[in-house]
Amino acid sequence: MAGWEALDAVLAYASEAFSSPLAIGVQIQGCIICLILAFGWASAARVRSRELKRIKDGEKAGNSLAFLYPNINDLEYSTQKRLPRVSVVMPLKGFAEHNYNNWKSQLVSLYGGPLEFLFVVESTDDAAFPVVSQLISDWKDRVDAKVIVAGLSTTCSQKIHNQLIFIQTGYPIDIPSGSLGSYCIFEYHMVCLFS
C-alpha cells in the first residue's frame, strides 16, 4: 500500500506543478508553436500541389522540361543574353589532383549572361597560382577571368580573407579598416552583395 501512496503523492505534485502559471504558459506556447508548424506544413503542401499541377500541365502542353522551367523558350540564347552580369569568386589554396578539371569546368559554364571569374589566392607562392594562371591564359580569348593575390590573413581564416579582398578590389565599396570588426561586418553583408 505504501507504493500506491508514493505514486499518488508524485501524481499530486505533478498535477500541482503543471497547473502553475509558468507551466500553463509553456503549454500555451507549445500549442502555438505546433499550430504554426501545422500551418507551415499545410502551406508547403499547397504550394507543392500547385507546382506539381504546373509541371503536369506543362508536360501536356509539350514542354518535356517543365520540371526545370515553366517556359523552356525563355532559356534560348537570345533570351539569356539579357541576364545580369555575374562574378564567380573562387578562393583557392594549394593544388590537388582534380583541381584543374574542377576550375576548368567552372570556366565552361552554360550561363548565358556576362560572366567573370575571379580566382583569389594567398600569394604567388601558392601552388594554385601557376596552375590557374596557365588555365586563364589557355582560355583568355573565351572567358573573362583573372587572378587576385589577397595576401596573408592576420585576423580571420584565409578563405574569408580572400573573399573580403575580392570585395575590396572587385566592387567599389569601402572597407573602413583591417580590424576584425570590419571583417565581421562585411562577412555578414556579403550574402547581400551576392544575392
Give Dmax over CA atoms of the chain in angstroms.
Answer: 92
Q: Tens digit of pLDDT for each residue in 93-132?
A: 888 888 888 888 888 877 777 888 888 888 889 888 999 9
DSSP 8-state assignment for residue 144? E
Q: Give the pLDDT confidence score for residue 176 in this predicted structure.
A: 47
Report the run of H or E that residue 99 belongs to, with start and end.
Answer: helix 99-107
- Rounded to 5°, the CA angle 189-191-195 comes to 125
Torsion from C-alpha of 123, 124, 129, 131, nearest 10 degrees: -160
Range among 82-86, 124-128, 168-172 with highest mean pLDDT value: 124-128
Does position 147 have pLDDT exceeding 90, yes or no?
no
8 Å CB contact between 109 and 98: no
Give the closest residue to 164 by CA, choosing from 188, 132, 140: 188
Q: Give the pLDDT confidence score for residue 148 in this predicted structure.
A: 83
DSSP for 167-184, please give it.
HHHHSS-----SSHHHHH
8 Å CB contact between 159 and 91: yes
Q: Give the pLDDT confidence score for residue 33 in this predicted structure.
A: 92
Averaged pLDDT for residues 38-51:
91
All three cell numbers of 173: 565599396
Q: Give the pLDDT confidence score for residue 14 in this predicted structure.
A: 82
Q: Give the pLDDT confidence score for residue 194 in this predicted structure.
A: 46
How far, in Å, CA of 1 to CA of 108, rounded?
81
